[in-house]
Amino acid sequence: MNHFTKLNDFLASRQGTLKEYNEELSHVLKDLATASKIVNRDICRAGLVDGFIGAQGGQNIQGEEQQKLDVIADNAFISILEKGGAVCGIASEENEDFVAFKNPKSREGNYVVLFDPLDGSSNIDVNVSIGTIFSIYQRVSQKGELSTIEDMLQTGAQQVAAGYVLYGSSTMMVYTAGQGVHGFTLDPNTNDFYLSHQDMKMPEKGRYYAMNEGNVNECDPRIVDYIKYCQSRKNDYDSPYSGRYIGSLVADFHRNLIKGGIYIYPCTKEAPEGRLRLLYECNPLAFISEQAGGLSTDGTQRIMNIKPNKLHERIAFFTGSKSMVEKAMSFLK
Ligand code: AFP
């Protein structure tokens, strides 16, 4: 036993604090937590179970090699959300098209969930932190009907809740429903999430920058200038920032949320539109960053104002502590 509040009790206490914050939304968040516990268990046992480690043998719609655990995690989230009844459809990194749940209960569901079931999957086989990222919207299609593409292609500003689960040295679920950011740690003894990080705030600035610096000569020279600024003694700390890049967006973002820092994935020659996906990577983290006092932009505009044109749309992403993102943007002017 511990003295921390369980996720379910916390969700119950929040109901009604916002028009959108109701029992059905709590249900969706609980289902996401349940699915993440299954995924967490599978990640922890991956090395011991045949069929969990390694490549699946196919590519997802992004042309990226799918890992076995990508598919296992995807199936876990889809099956729990489908059974739950509060969600009428989903879109995920691992599926080319969105999935409209056909059963009558789900058709009555008010929400859609967009997610990356296992972010940072190149880190799975090497036992480095990975995550799940999710975004929740109210449907715009008719209740009782099948969910439509319009449900999925909403701007980030229309998210009712968003979050991530970090499978790290401990497993944490962090979410916002538009009233601050709440962090829960999974207790392996009880398999319950407990409120461990209340009202999380991103420090106004920090000393960490996260970028795949292998790409530094492949991007806009103004980005190179900003990276040189981070590495110089001419920055606001009069000493070089520390470079930290895990290659799992969730883990890099979480460090910056707690310690202060900036994450950058600009357009590169290889990825001229950017690498990260707007709908299930950037939007949810943008919502959390703003709720925590940080900023997220594609270099020209607020991430959450971008009207998506397609499910797997990619964009450039700059997210983190407010003054650091503002400084990076000043290089792009
Ligand atoms: P996956 O979810 O397909 O593994 O992609 C990981 C990711 O979207 C993000 O988590 C990382 O920050 C980024 O890509 C890593 O990309 P690079 O390997 O190009 O640095």
The CATH number given to whatever domain includes residue 227 is: 3.40.190.80
Q: Whose CA is nearest to atom 1 of ligand 1?
A: 120
Residues 77 and 118 in one domain: yes
Whole-prediction pTM: 0.95
Q: How does residue 15 score in pLDDT terms, banded at 50, 70 and 90?
A: confident
Mean pLDDT of all residues in the chain?
94
Query: Structural domain tally of the chain?
Result: 2
Spatial separation of the C-alpha atoms in residues 66 and 311, rounded to whole Å? 18
**Any idea what the CATH number is for the domain that residue 150 is in?**
3.30.540.10
Measure 65 CA to ligand 1 centroid, in angstroms. Answer: 12
pLDDT higher than threshold 70 for residue 1: no
Mutation to probe ligand 1, out of 248, 279, 282, 312 (largest number of atoms < 8 A from CB): 248
Q: Which helix (H) or strand (E) is 23 found in, with range? A: helix 23-45
* Angle of helix 221-231 versus helix 322-332 axis, rounded to 10: 140
212 closest CA partner among 169, 249, 173, 162 = 249
Residues 250 and 153 in one domain: no
Q: Is residue 202 part of a domain?
A: no
CB atoms within 10 A of CB 164: 28
Higher pLDDT, 42 or 47: 42
Q: Is residue 186 part of a domain?
A: yes
Read off the pLDDT of residues 127-180 as tens digits, 9 standing for 90 and up: 999 999 999 999 999 999 999 999 999 999 999 999 999 999 999 999 999 999
Residues 38 and 179 in one domain: yes
Q: Is residue 203 part of a domain?
A: no
Residues 229 and 180 in one domain: no
Domain range for 31: 7-197
Q: Is residue 2 part of a domain?
A: no
Q: What pLDDT score does 18 carry? A: 74
Q: Is residue 106 part of a domain?
A: yes
Residues 313 and 182 in one domain: no
Q: Whose CA is nearest to atom 2 of ligand 1?
A: 119
Q: What pLDDT score does 52 carry? A: 75
Mutation to probe ligand 1, out of 275, 283, 315, 319 (largest number of atoms < 8 A from CB): 275
Cβ < 6 A, ligand 1 pocket: 64, 116, 119-122, 212, 247-249, 275-276, 281
Measure 270 CA to ligand 1 centroid, in angstroms. Answer: 13
Spatial separation of the C-alpha atoms in residues 205 and 327, rounded to whole Å? 10
Q: Which pair of structure tokens corresponds to residue 60? A: 């997802």
Q: Whose CA is nearest to atom 18 of ligand 1?
A: 247
Residue where one domain finishes, among candidates 174, 197, 220: 197
Q: Is residue 47 part of a domain?
A: yes
Q: How much is the average pLDDT of 223-231?
A: 97
Q: Is residue 249 part of a domain?
A: yes
pLDDT higher than threshold 80 for residue 55: no
Give Cβ neighbours of residue 48 (< 8 Å, ≥ 6 apart).
Answer: none
Residue 246 CA: nearest ligand 1 atom is 12
Q: Whose CA is nearest to atom 7 of ligand 1?
A: 120
Q: What pLDDT score does 229 carry? A: 97
pLDDT higher than threshold 70 for residue 58: no
Spatial separation of the C-alpha atoms in residues 6 and 29, rounded to whole Å? 13
How many residues are recorded in the chain?
333
72 closest CA partner among 91, 87, 94 = 94
Residues 172 and 221 in one domain: no
Residue where one domain finishes, among candidates 168, 197, 226: 197
Mutation to probe ligand 1, out of 68, 94, 118, 249 (largest number of atoms < 8 A from CB): 249
Q: Which residues of 69-82 are buried (b: 16+ CB within 10 A; e: fewer)?
A: bbbbbbebbbebbb
Q: Is residue 282 part of a domain?
A: yes
Measure 265 CA to ligand 1 centroid, in angstroms. Answer: 9
Residues 213 and 303 in one domain: yes
Q: Angle at CA 189, nearest 5°, toward 184 and 195?
A: 15
Q: How does residue 61 score in pLDDT terms, banded at 50, 70 and 90?
A: low
Residues 85 and 13 in one domain: yes
Measure 56 CA to ligand 1 centroid, in angstroms. Answer: 17
Residues 228 and 298 in one domain: yes
Residues paired with 99 in a beta bridge:
90
Q: How does residue 212 score in pLDDT terms, banded at 50, 70 and 90?
A: very high
CB atoms within 10 A of CB 171: 23
Residues 172 and 278 in one domain: no
